[in-house]
């Protein structure tokens, strides 16, 4: 019998309710300082930072365009000492094998579970209201995940590292903007009003941890709901690679790493603390459902997003988020699980991508690619390596 695999973890002892509450008053000191430096040198009315960061990519931030922010984006910092490079490689391989199913889990499990945290949903919905195209946020999230999970991509200075660091700056810009609403130019969207400090700092350390767990713990639980069985080594590797991303996106050094068991404990603790009905959570969920319908482009299956959310996260949380009732498509998910489990026994040499659940994920990813081909913005990019692994063929010119 194979012994269980053990990954590095700091344990759960420190994550008491009082400790987690204290984290709600903590932002990201390094990125916040870079953003503050930007506003010390730029008239906010001439150079609103948040819209500029949303429009640009990690590849085209220059010192001249973004004083303070530009140098920060270009800084290359080493991995922390706890990183196990072999685990990172294995974790990215798990995404290569099961990324299509994880794409479905992102929309139908990870994001809705994040929105259930009422206090954490508030800065997200305020940010969405400041953008002309809320769906773009989902595409940006998907692109960051693709960039980070591509093999070797989160090595210091690599493309995934730069993409994650760019998102870290966007988070800092959101914090600054929501705490200083007077800098938001007229016409940028509804005036957000003063920030309620009883919510904590926008995108604080507890919120960042919750987002991390949405991607790793909830992502793995979504695979389990589909009948996917991973080895303990694969599970720990997937959690570990996300620990590295969490570090690079600004989670405090003393909060990582966490292995799967410990991450699950803290994730459930945060969800129990923060889960509550909220207008923000319901608004974000409605936008996500609409975005999924648009990405899937299946008129006969328009109820699939709502049915999928209810299948993955359960009716209690779904009702809290005012997810529409499931229709006949609800029956597709258990049926898909049974068929995928049966066919996997026959095609175990083809990791994941022959399944019905993979076909659904492929439809979502294909929707990502087509959705960004307008407005002068760069197309959603999937590496040739992942396209090949997911059976998506050669990238069209």
Q: What is the mean pLDDT of residues 44-69?
A: 58
For residue 325, give Cα distances in angstroms to 4, 225, 306, 319. 40, 20, 7, 9
CA distance 221 to 261: 12
| pLDDT band for position 126 (cuts 50, 70, 90) | confident
Whether the pLDDT of residue 187 is over 60: the answer is no
What's residue 180's pLDDT?
87
Question: Percent of the chain at pLDDT above 70?
Answer: 83
If pLDDT is split at 50, 70 and 90, which confidence band does 193 have?
A: confident
CA distance 195 to 261: 35
CA triplet 249, 253, 259: central angle to 5 degrees? Answer: 85
Give the SS3 label for residue 380: coil
The one-character DSSP state at 326 is P
What mean pLDDT do residues 117-124 have?
Answer: 94
**Alpha-carbon gap, residue 234 to 95, rounded angstroms:** 10
DSSP of 141-181: HHHHHHHHHSTTTTSTTSHHHHHHHHHHHHHHHHHHHHH-G
- Mean pLDDT, rounded, for 350-372: 71
Integer Cα distance of 45 and 389 in angstroms: 46
Q: How many CA atoms are closer than 13 Å to the CA of 389, on its beta-carbon side?
A: 21
Rg over alpha carbons for the chain, rounded to the nearest Å, is 20
Three-class SS state of 117: strand
Tokens of 343: 């066919």
pLDDT, position 355: 75
Give pLDDT, residue 63.
Answer: 44
Q: How confident is the model at residue 351 (pLDDT cuts 50, 70, 90)?
A: low
DSSP string, 269-305: HHHHHHB---HHHHHHHHHHHHHHHHHH--GGGTTHH
What is the pTM assigned to this prediction? 0.89
Q: Is the pLDDT of residue 14 over 90?
A: yes
Tell me what pLDDT residue 140 has: 78
pLDDT higher than 80, residue 64: no
pLDDT of residue 324: 96
Domain ranges of the chain: 17-389
For position 42, what pLDDT does the model report? 72
Q: Name the pLDDT band for 48 (thresholds 50, 70, 90).
A: low
Q: What region does 227 belong to: left with phi over 0, alpha with psi -120 to 50, or beta?
A: left
pLDDT tens-digit map of 231-282: 999 999 999 999 999 999 999 999 999 999 999 999 999 999 999 999 999 9
Cα separation, 285 vs 124, whole angstroms: 11
**pLDDT for the residue numbered 220:** 97
pLDDT band at 283, cuts 50/70/90? very high
Residue 175 has pLDDT above 70, yes or no: yes
Burial of 10 (0-12, 13-18, 19+ CB in 10 A): middle
């Amino acid at each position: 019998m194979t012994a269980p695999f053990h990954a590095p973890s700091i344990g759960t002892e420190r994550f008491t309710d009082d400790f987690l509450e204290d984290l709600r008053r903590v932002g990201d000191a390094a990125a916040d300082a870079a953003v503050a430096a930007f506003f010390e040198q730029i008239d906010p009315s001439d150079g609103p930072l948040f819209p500029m960061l949303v429009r640009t990519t990690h590849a085209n931030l220059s010192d001249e365009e973004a004083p303070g922010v530009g140098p920060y984006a270009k800084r290359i910092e080493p991995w922390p000492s706890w990183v196990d490079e072999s685990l990172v490689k294995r974790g990215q391989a798990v995404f290569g094998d099961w990324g299509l199913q994880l794409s479905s889990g992102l929309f139908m499990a990870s994001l809705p579970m994040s929105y259930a945290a009422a206090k954490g949903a508030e800065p997200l919905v305020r940010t969405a209201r400041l953008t002309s195209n809320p769906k773009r946020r989902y595409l940006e999230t998907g692109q960051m995940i693709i960039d980070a999970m591509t093999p070797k991509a989160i090595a210091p200075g690599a493309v995934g590292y730069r993409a994650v660091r760019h998102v870290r700056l966007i988070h800092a810009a959101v914090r600054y903007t929501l705490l200083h609403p007077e800098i938001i130019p007229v016409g940028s969207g509804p005036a957000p009003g003063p920030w309620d400090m009883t919510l904590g700092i926008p995108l604080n350390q507890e919120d960042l941890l919750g987002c991390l767990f949405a991607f790793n713990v909830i992502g793995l639980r979504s695979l389990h709901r589909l009948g996917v069985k991973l080895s303990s080594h694969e599970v720990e590797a997937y959690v570990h690679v996300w620990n590295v991303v969490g570090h690079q996106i600004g989670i405090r050094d003393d909060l990582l790493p966490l292995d799967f068991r410990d991450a699950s404990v803290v994730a459930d603790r945060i969800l129990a603390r923060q889960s509550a009905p909220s207008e923000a959570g319901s608004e974000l969920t409605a936008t996500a459902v609409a975005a999924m319908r648009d990405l899937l482009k299946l008129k006969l299956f328009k109820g699939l997003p709502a049915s999928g959310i209810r299948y993955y996260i359960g009716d209690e949380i779904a009702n809290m988020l005012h997810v529409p009732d499931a229709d006949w498509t609800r029956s597709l998910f258990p049926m898909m699980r049974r068929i995928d489990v049966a066919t996997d026994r026959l095609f175990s040499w083809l990791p994941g991508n022959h399944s019905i659940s993979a076909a659904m994920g492929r439809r979502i990813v294909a929707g990502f690619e087509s959705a960004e081909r307008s407005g002068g913005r760069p197309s959603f990019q999937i590496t040739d390596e992942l396209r090949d692994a997911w059976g998506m063929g050669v990238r069209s010119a």
